[in-house]
Structure 1
Amino acid sequence: MATEQDFQASAQKYLVSASNARTFVEKVLIGSGVSGENAAIVADCLVQADLRGVDTHGINRIPSYMARAREGVLDATISPEIEFRTPVVAQVDGRNGFGFLATKLGMDAAIKMASEFGIGMVSVKHSNHFGMSAWVVQQAIDAGMMSLVFTNSSPALPVWGGKEKLMGVSPIACGAPAGKTKPFILDMAPSVAARGKIYKAKRRGEKIPTDWALDSEGRPTDDPRAALEGVMLPMGGPKGSALSIMMDVFSGVFSGSAFAGHVTNPYDPSKPADVGHFLIAMKPDLFMTLDDFKERMDYLYSRVVGCERMTGVDRIYFPGELEQLEADKRQSEGIPYTRGEIDALNSEATKVGAPPLEIAE
């Protein structure tokens, strides 16, 4: 039986550089049959999440992804395919491969179409979990584009008035570039908290706030295990519920992927996930010059962060700014992982003969 001392040792955190984390993931994936090019894409997306402090969607997802690959319900060796339907519309078939690959291919296409025609729209079918939505938004921002990024996910939320898991905790994300200030990056779930935070608490032996979820008996709980057996709570009651349904319409119904409670949980190695995504890229200078747009974004930023603060608030942040500041910090200092997380990752490395994760001195 594990002692308190064992738990404390497992929960102790160690710093890993972003480059070491990226190299580690690449080698584990290549050892699992993933091409070098595709492994680099997946590794970069996962490490971006860890850098931004979104630890629930970082490299700690590797064990669950590899478990699904070993069971044959995620094809780690496959590359997605794209079909253009109109000059501004395309569909990507993820072919049950990594969601990161299908999504990157889709946003690349949306950006290319938007560069020529002002807007590009891509529907993605037969995909898998693509981690943190903000990396897709950042891909568009890096190309000077505004974007909308939707996905559906496995059942976790009840619809308003219901009690069973039916809708996913499906994030809504969007972004816009700016001039001299931070870009606008919104990436949020329609639940009080992202489900990945509950998995993270379970992994680390931590409790959760009692307003995040209900147990299987419909009671508030601070136990992540009980929460995962129950339901997540939507933010804003019926508003959060409606947003989760919207994600299912645009990502699942529209694409031809699973919907209405039939997407498979990314931690479930029993069958393919069949996730759908919806991506739009837009040129920000369609109605004014790019300089004018960026000046207006900078003005919006200054108005938001410079507005009069409520009592007890030291600073106001623009959407996405906290995560960008955390990324700057972790890029220089390293990414913190617990010993338990490192052990789980190294176990995956051992299975494929890859070297262990290097901890910063």
Structure 2
Amino acid sequence: MPEQSAIFTEAALTSAVAAMFVAHDVPEGDARRVAECLVLADLRGVVSHGVSRVPIYLDRLRRGLVKAQPQMVMERPLSVAARLDADDALGFVAATRAMAEAVDMARNHGMGMCAVRRSTHFGMAANYLLQATDSGMAAFVFTNASRAMPIWGGRSPFLGTSPFAFAAPAGERPVVLDMALSVVARGKVRRAAARGEPIPVGWALDADGNPTTDAQKGYEGVVLPLAGAKGSGLSLMMEIIAGVMSGSAFGGNVRNQYTDFDAPQDVGHVFMAFRPDVFLEPGAYEERMTDLIRRAKDQPLAAGVDEIMMPGEIEARATETRRREGIRIDGDDLRLLAEEAARVGVALPH
């Protein structure tokens, strides 16, 4: 029997997902933002952070581990620094508010930094990078995450697969670097396990510290850091910046949204926005950035390579394609999404 699948337009899927969150008492504007972030991940091909995660976010809302209407409080200790107490908000809502604050400070002072404490999983970091570049700003996004990766030399989960995320404006397609600091995002291992698919050697270790191609054993064990000790060191940096400095949980104490249901996650984030032209004459940044990209793409090609791509360019092209052709959802992702929609009487038009 062929696998069940459906194709959705961006607008229809966004509206349906937003309605599911509204049905869980999330204010309409916040629900719309959550839906836009999730659908954009699917548009960009980052399906591990797309609408497949709707069921777990709604489950944690129902359990009271995430607040639909949090009382968030912004502290501003300096003119270029702020901290948001997210009050266990949906991470998308807290992150959007924090990046907006960082962008506002950057408009007024050239740069701005906003930390977030008591947050939850915020999905794809590129959502907030693009929020900054849409405002003409360059940005960094840091977050910590539940333990999934050993510190270099260890075999037990201690560090999160926190992304290293940076973006700079570059005309219609900003340069967007959003990469997990593990060999592969843990969400991909989770999806492979759910589908009964194997994973490549080098992605993960089982619970006993042995290399494995069994996705379920890899999910129960640890994923491995990107570039060995270097990836481990960068992930430790995320723990320091997003965890220690923000006042959030750190060092393996962020709770896993899929397995820990006794308390909120207490994720920490940090958002930095800055004017890309702050050191240059008017118009010089755009000219220099265009020149950099042109010269980079004109470099001699390695064997088997058809084109040099800038970070984020593959995802931008995928977005353009899926906006024309639709977003395909299939298998358990479709079944579970349909179940959540039926639970609250939301139609899934496709």
Range class of TM-score, shorter chain: over 0.9
Measure the CA separation in 2 of the matches of 1:20 and 1:79.
Answer: 30
Offset from partner CA, 1:96-149 (integer Å, 9 cap, x none) = 010111111111011111001100110100000000001100000000000010
Measure the CA separation in 1 of the matches of 2:336 and 2:268.
Answer: 29
Measure the CA separation in 2 of the matches of 1:45 and 1:89.
Answer: 25
1:88 aligns with 2:119: no
What is the aligned partner in structure 1 of residue 207 from structure 2? 216
Q: Is 1:178–1:295's contact at 8 Å kept on the other side of the alignment?
A: no
The alignment of Structure 1 onto Structure 2 pairs a total of residues equal to 349
Correspondence for 1:318 among 285, 310, 334: 310
> Following TM superposition, by how much is the alpha carbon of 1:206 offset from its aligned partner in structure 2, in angstroms?
2.2
Q: Look up the SS of the partner of 2:283 in the other structure.
A: helix
What is the aligned partner in structure 1 of residue 30 from structure 2? 38
Correspondence for 1:277 among 266, 269, 293: 269
Correspondence for 1:236 among 227, 234, 241: 227
Correspondence for 2:238 among 220, 232, 247: 247
Offset from partner CA, 1:301-327 (integer Å, 9 cap, x none) = 112222111111111110110000000
Offset from partner CA, 1:270-329 (integer Å, 9 cap, x none) = 321000001110011211134210111111111222211111111111011000000000
Taking structure 1 as the reference length, the TM-score comes to 0.94
What is the aligned partner in structure 2 of residue 167 from structure 1? 159
AA matched with 1:177: P
AA matched with 2:316: Q
Q: Is 1:284–1:290's contact at 8 Å kept on the other side of the alignment?
A: no
What is the aligned partner in structure 1 of residue 281 from structure 2? 289
Correspondence for 1:257 among 215, 235, 248: 248
**Quick one: percent identity of the two aligned structures?**
43
What is the aligned partner in structure 2 of residue 105 from structure 1? 97
Offset from partner CA, 1:167-223 (integer Å, 9 cap, x none) = 0000010110024x6311100111100011112222333222121101112222222
Measure the CA separation in 2 of the matches of 1:314 and 1:13.
Answer: 32
> Following TM superposition, by how much is the alpha carbon of 1:354 offset from its aligned partner in structure 2, in angstroms?
2.2
1:193 aligns with 2:184: yes
Q: Look up the SS of the partner of 1:156 in the other structure.
A: coil
Taking structure 2 as the reference length, the TM-score comes to 0.97
Q: Look up the SS of the partner of 1:155 in the other structure.
A: coil
Offset from partner CA, 1:35-94 (integer Å, 9 cap, x none) = 111101111111111110000001111111111122221112325331222111111111
Q: Is 1:79–1:101's contact at 8 Å kept on the other side of the alignment?
A: no
Mind listing any 5+ residue stretches in structure 2 that lack a counterpart?
A: none
Equivalent residues in 2 for 1:45-56 (5 A)?
Answer: 45-56=37-48
Offset from partner CA, 1:258-278 (integer Å, 9 cap, x none) = 000000112133321000001
AA matched with 1:320: G
1:75 aligns with 2:67: yes
RMSD: 1.3
AA matched with 1:212: W
What is the aligned partner in structure 1 of residue 173 from structure 2? 182
* Alpha-carbon distance change, 236 to 339 in structure 1, aligned in 2, over 3 angstroms: closer
AA matched with 1:249: I
